[in-house]
Copies of this chain bind each other. A is one copy, B any other.
Amino acid sequence: MEKRQLGSCVTFFPQPTTLIGSLDEQNKVNLMTASWAGIVSKTPPTIAVSLNKARKTYANILERGEFVVNMVPASLAVEADFCGIRSGSKVDKAATCGFTFEPAEHLQVPLLAESPLNLECRLVREVEIGDYRLLLGEIMQVHAIDSAFNGDGSIATPRFDPLVYLGGIREYWTLGDKTADAYQIGKRLAEEKKEDKL
Q: Given A2-B145, A37-B38, decide whether A43 and B186 contact each other with a Cβ distance below 8 A.
A: no
Q: CB distance A77 to B180 under 8 Å?
A: yes
A138 to B46, CA, bound (A): 22
Contacts of A185 in B (CB 8 A): 77-78, 81, 172
A131 interface hit (Cβ, 8 Å):
yes
Q: How far is the CA of A139 from the CA of B37 in the complex (A)?
A: 18
Q: Please tell me if the beta carbons of A48 and B45 are within 8 angstroms of each other in the complex.
A: no
**Pick from B10, B39, B167: contact of A36, CB under 8 Å:** B39
Q: Which of B13, B84, B136, B182 contacts A129 (CB 8 A)?
A: B136
**From residue A136, how far is it (CB to closest CB) to chain B in Å?**
7
- What range describes how many residues of A lie at the interface? 35 or more
Task: Determine the residue in chain B with the shortest Cβ distance to A146.
Answer: B2
The interface residues of chain B lying within 8 Å CB-to-CB of A79 are 186, 189
Main secondary structure of the interface of A (DSSP, over half): strand
Question: A179 near B74 (CB under 8 angstroms)?
Answer: yes
Question: In the bound complex, what is the Cα–Cα distance between A83 and B170 (angstroms)?
Answer: 29
User: Contact residues of A with B, CB < 8 Å?
Assistant: 1-16, 36-48, 50, 69, 71, 74, 77-86, 91, 96-97, 102, 105, 111, 113-119, 125, 127, 129-132, 134, 136, 138-147, 149, 155, 157, 160, 162-190, 193, 195-196, 198
| 26 examples of A-B residue contacts, CB within 8 angstroms | A2-B147, A6-B141, A6-B143, A8-B142, A10-B42, A10-B45, A10-B139, A12-B117, A14-B15, A14-B16, A15-B38, A37-B38, A38-B48, A39-B50, A77-B179, A78-B186, A81-B180, A81-B182, A85-B190, A86-B186, A125-B129, A129-B136, A142-B168, A157-B166, A164-B164, A172-B179
